[in-house]
């Protein structure tokens, strides 16, 4: 039996609700694939901040670092000033653990309702840079609250940081049947960072001659995500564009309740972290309405990362089968999680 240690950060709002379902499914499937998880739960989030003023103490960060992988629910709460937990907890983890590949696959499963009239076969993955861009906190404000306030939020793009994520995206494109990579940026306006990204893609492309390379400005990319999403295979983009595009990508493939993600450290110098694309959804928290599918599918990405592809496929098949049979009647978080768990337990295949 292979044992893995899991740091679990349920977080805020619907985070704990969906994480409980994901953990249940993970433990079930592991047992059947000669693996076992020992989980340590960390009570980080709004409650802890109110009680102690802490977001992510360094000692806790170092404890978390000692695990094989991290499962996170969601962070952020209306009772906490916006940004405190998002930056102090979630981004701190992504930056400290060098999660430079934010992997966000989008696939339109059969039977899933989409707002698109002609969706086509949607199956792409966004490789979103995870440690740089406007997220780094390089900015400030002066004369705050006056008519002369000035605020900056400088996007940081390093040759090192861009190249490593671009190379990872090329490798992923090469491993997929269509072998196509689309760089999304805004190099007609953001010429400094944009040209670094474009030049880097051109340079790394010479190492991957069988990968077809394409470029889109981010505004045009949003058009094609709605009018012709089947054209995309692998998209590589910066931290902020990737954030926005992946909520749109979720919306066209069945909604935010289905979208999974991995914050991956490809060099394995620290544990990778898996979480739904969605947030803490304070509007439905505590109502048992949250769809746990995104969290469960994030568990599948976690298994794949740990070298358990068959176990991961078991989860994906169970989810696909559940989705195919979803009716109009609403189900609770626990009902959806339970239904997927029983399919995993039965090893029911799709079709
Ligand atoms: P959100 O993703 O939490 O919610 C957007 C909408 O989607 C809401 O109507 C919500 O009810 C719905 N929704 C989200 N997840 C759902 C699910 N599993 N099932 C059904 N419906 C779901 O985004 P927001 O409202 O912009 O942000 C709320 C809080 O979450 C903020 O504090 C934000 O900073 C934080 N946030 C955290 C993460 C994260 O932890 N990774 C991601 C995004 C937002
Ligand atoms: C996400 C979220 C986060 C992001 C926030 C909460 C920091 O929106 O995971 O998509 O912007 O990366
Ligand atoms: Mn987001």
Give the ligand with the smallest distance to the CA of 256: 1
| CATH architecture observed for domain 114-121+130-253 | 3-Layer(aba) Sandwich (3.40)
Q: Is the CB of 17 under 6 A from ligand 1?
A: no
Q: Whose CA is nearest to atom 5 of ligand 2?
A: 86
Q: Residue 203 and residue 167: Cα distance in Å, rounded?
A: 10
Residue 111's pLDDT is what? 87
- How many CB atoms are located within 10 Å of the residue 154 CB? 11
- Strands (E) across the chain are located at 2-11, 35-41, 69-74, 101-107, 123-129, 133-142, 150-156, 180-185, 212-217, 234-237, 260-264, 272-276
Bind-site residues:
94, 104, 128, 219, 243, 247, 279-291
Residue 198: both structure tokens together = 């474009």
Give CA angle at 130 (48, 269), nearest 5°. 85
* Ligand 2: centre distance to CA 244 (Å): 9
In the structure, what pLDDT confidence band is assigned to residue 349 with cuts at 50, 70 and 90? very low
The values of phi and psi at residue 274, to 5°, are -120, 135
Mean local confidence (pLDDT), 35-45: 97
pLDDT digits (tens, 9 = 90+) for 170-199: 999 999 999 999 999 999 999 999 999 999
Residue 274: both structure tokens together = 């898996």
Residue 80: both structure tokens together = 């906490």
Residue 29's pLDDT is what? 96
Q: Is the pLDDT assigned to residue 60 strictly greater than 60?
A: yes
Q: Provide ipTM, 2 decimals.
A: 0.99
Between 15-31 and 309-324, two packed helices, what is the crossing angle to 10 degrees?
120
| Residue carrying the six token digits 């309702």 | 113
pLDDT digits (tens, 9 = 90+) for 290-338: 999 999 999 999 999 999 999 999 999 999 999 998 888 999 999 999 9
Q: Is the CB of 98 under 6 A from ligand 2?
A: no
By 3-state DSSP, what share of the chain in percent is helix, strand and coil, each rounded to 5? 40, 25, 35
Between 15-31 and 333-346, two packed helices, what is the crossing angle to 10 degrees?
10
Q: Is the CB of 294 under 6 A from ligand 2?
A: no
Residue 350's pLDDT is what? 44
| Residue carrying the six token digits 């072998």 | 179
% of the chain beyond a pLDDT of 90: 95
Residue 79: both structure tokens together = 């009772």
pLDDT digits (tens, 9 = 90+) for 108-166: 998 899 999 999 999 999 999 999 999 999 999 999 999 999 999 999 999 999 999 99
Fold agreement (1-108+257-351, 114-121+130-253): yes
Rounded to the nearest integer, the mean pLDDT of the chain is 97
DSSP labels for 201-222?
HHHHHTT-TTSEEEEEEHHHHH
Residue 104's pLDDT is what? 98
3-state secondary structure of 326: coil
Q: Is the pTM of this model over 0.95?
A: yes
Q: Is 135 known to be catalytic?
A: yes
Q: Whose CA is nearest to atom 9 of ligand 2?
A: 277
- Among the CATH numbers 3.40.718.10, 3.30.450.90, 3.40.50.300, 3.10.100.10, which is that of 1-108+257-351? 3.40.718.10
| Three-state secondary structure readout of 70-139 | EEEEECCCCCCCCCHHHHHHHHHHHHHCCCCEEEEEEECCCCCCCCCCCCCCCEEEEEEECCCEEEEEEE
| Residue carrying the six token digits 């295979």 | 233
% of the chain beyond a pLDDT of 70: 99
Mean local confidence (pLDDT), 83-98: 98
Residue 266's pLDDT is what? 98
Residue 327's pLDDT is what? 84
Q: Is the pLDDT assigned to residue 93 strictly greater than 70?
A: yes
* 74 closest CA partner among 18, 132, 148: 18
Q: Residue 48 and residue 45: Cα distance in Å, rounded?
A: 6
Q: Is the pLDDT assigned to residue 347 strictly greater than 80?
A: no
Mean local confidence (pLDDT), 72-80: 98
Scored b (16 or more CB within 10 A) or e, 170-181 reads bbbbeeeeebbb
Mean local confidence (pLDDT), 271-284: 98
Q: Is the CB of 277 under 6 A from ligand 2?
A: yes
* 184 closest CA partner among 239, 226, 139: 239
| Three-state secondary structure readout of 194-206 | HHHHHHHHHHHHC
* Ligand 2: centre distance to CA 104 (Å): 12
Residue 348's pLDDT is what? 46
Domain-wise residue ranges, the chain? 1-108+257-351, 114-121+130-253
Residue 346's pLDDT is what? 86
Give the ligand with the smallest distance to the CA of 86: 2
CA distances 207 to 164, 174, 186, Å, are 13, 11, 24
């Amino acid at each position: 039996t292979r044992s893995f240690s899991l740091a679990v950060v349920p977080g805020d709002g619907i985070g704990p609700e969906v994480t409980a379902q994901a953990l249940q499914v993970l433990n079930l499937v592991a047992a059947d694939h000669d693996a076992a998880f020992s989980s340590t739960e960390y009570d980080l989030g709004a409650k802890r901040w109110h009680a102690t003023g802490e977001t992510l103490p360094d000692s806790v960060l170092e404890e978390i670092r000692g695990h094989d992988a991290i499962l996170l629910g969601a962070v952020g709460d209306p009772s906490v000033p916006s940004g405190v937990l998002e930056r102090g907890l979630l981004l701190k983890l992504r930056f400290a653990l060098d999660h430079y590949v934010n992997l966000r696959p989008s696939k339109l499963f059969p039977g899933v309702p989409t707002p698109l009239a002609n969706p086509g076969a949607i199956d792409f993955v966004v490789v979103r840079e995870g440690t740089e861009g406007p997220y780094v906190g390089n900015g400030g404000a002066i004369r705050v609250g006056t008519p002369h306030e000035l605020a900056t939020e400088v996007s940081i793009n390093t040759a090192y940081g861009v190249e490593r994520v671009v190379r990872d995206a090329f490798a992923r494109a090469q491993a997929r049947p269509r072998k196509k990579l689309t760089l999304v940026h805004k190099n007609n306006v953001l010429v400094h960072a944009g040209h670094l990204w474009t030049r880097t893609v051109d340079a790394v492309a010479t190492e991957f001659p069988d990968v077809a390379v394409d470029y889109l400005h981010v505004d045009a990319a949003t058009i094609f995500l709605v009018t012709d999403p089947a054209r995309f295979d692998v998209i590589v983009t910066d931290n902020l564009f990737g954030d926005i595009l992946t909520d749109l990508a979720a919306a066209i493939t069945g909604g935010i309740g289905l979208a999974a993600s991995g914050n991956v450290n490809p060099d394995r110098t620290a544990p990778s972290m898996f979480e739904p694309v969605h947030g803490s959804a304070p509007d439905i928290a505590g109502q048992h309405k949250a769809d746990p599918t995104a969290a469960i599918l994030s568990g599948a990405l976690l298994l794949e990362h740990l070298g358990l592809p068959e176990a991961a496929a078991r989860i994906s098949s169970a989810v696909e089968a559940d989705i195919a049979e979803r009716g109009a009647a609403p189900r609770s978080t626990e009902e959806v999680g339970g239904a997927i768990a029983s399919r995993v337990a039965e090893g029911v295949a799709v079709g």
